Amino acid sequence: MKKQKALIIGGSAGSLDVLLKVLPDIKPDFDFSIIIVIHRKQGADSLLTDLLSHRTKLKVKEADEKEKILAGNVYVAPSDYHLLIEKDFTFSLDYSEKINYSRPSIDVTFQSAADAYGQNLACLLLSGSNADGVNGLIAAKKNGGTTLVQNPETAQVTYMPEQAILRANVSAILTIDEMADYINSLSLNN
């Protein structure tokens, strides 16, 4: 397996419950960054970051403009901004039009990360009600990245993972119970 420098987790309706189950089981000594892009209502700025911080021992923070992306941190995309990954491994926040009715768009983050990280990227798409993230998974796979999707049988809303399985030739399909072990295994492959 390739050495991962970043894991990006994207999701929409039903994905918060998955994160609350999976993040507490991730070992705090992971040696890559985790970036979370969740569709959420405008104005709920720090609520998601606070909720995730209180449920895990991991360092969780909201991503900031031009911030250097560091291993061992969990970053959360701010509400109402697209989160882009630059080739110098910093964040850019963008307020351009919504994509797939969403800002932040999972596709935008997956696609920009695929360009920056190439084969050292893993992307995980969770539960959701539209196809945001599918094109990003295709881009990640094309650039040599690892593409993962939640097993639709374990998703509250099956459309997003089903579309990924149909269209993106994903590397693996994971149940919620398999996700933490898979994520932890990414650290072992130095």
Contact 148, 36 (CB under 8 A): no
Among 12, 15, 79, 105, the one annotated catalytic:
12
CB neighbour burial string for 98-127, b if at least 16 within 10 angstroms, e if fewer: ebbebbbbbbbbbbbbbebbeebbbbbbbb
3 state SS for 18-46: HHHHHHHHCCCCCCCEEEEEECCCCCCHH
Tokens of 175: 């149940």
Among 79, 107, 127, 132, the one annotated catalytic:
132
With a cut of 50, say whether residue 190 has pLDDT above it: no
Contact 138, 151 (CB under 8 A): no
- Examine the residue annotation and report whether 54 is marked as an active-site residue of this protein: no
Cα–Cα distance measured from residue 129 to residue 158, given in angstroms and rounded to the nearest whole number: 7
Q: 101-139, pLDDT tens digit by residue? A: 899 999 999 999 999 999 999 999 999 999 999 999 999
Whole-model pTM: value is 0.95
- Mean per-residue pLDDT for 59-78? 96
Predicted pLDDT of residue 188: 62
Residues 6+ apart with CB under 8 A from 156: 13, 14, 17, 127
Predicted pLDDT of residue 100: 87
Predicted pLDDT of residue 76: 96
> What's the chain's average pLDDT?
93
Multiple choice CATH, 6-188, 3.30.70.360, 3.40.50.170, 3.40.630.40, 3.40.50.180: 3.40.50.180
Q: Phi-psi bin for 146: left (phi > 0), alpha (psi -120 to 50), beta?
A: beta
Among 15, 33, 39, 82, the one annotated catalytic:
39
With a cut of 90, say whether residue 175 has pLDDT above it: yes
- Examine the residue annotation and report whether 132 is marked as an active-site residue of this protein: yes
- Examine the residue annotation and report whether 12 is marked as an active-site residue of this protein: yes
With a cut of 70, say whether residue 42 has pLDDT above it: no
Residue 44's pLDDT band, with cuts at 50, 70 and 90, is: low
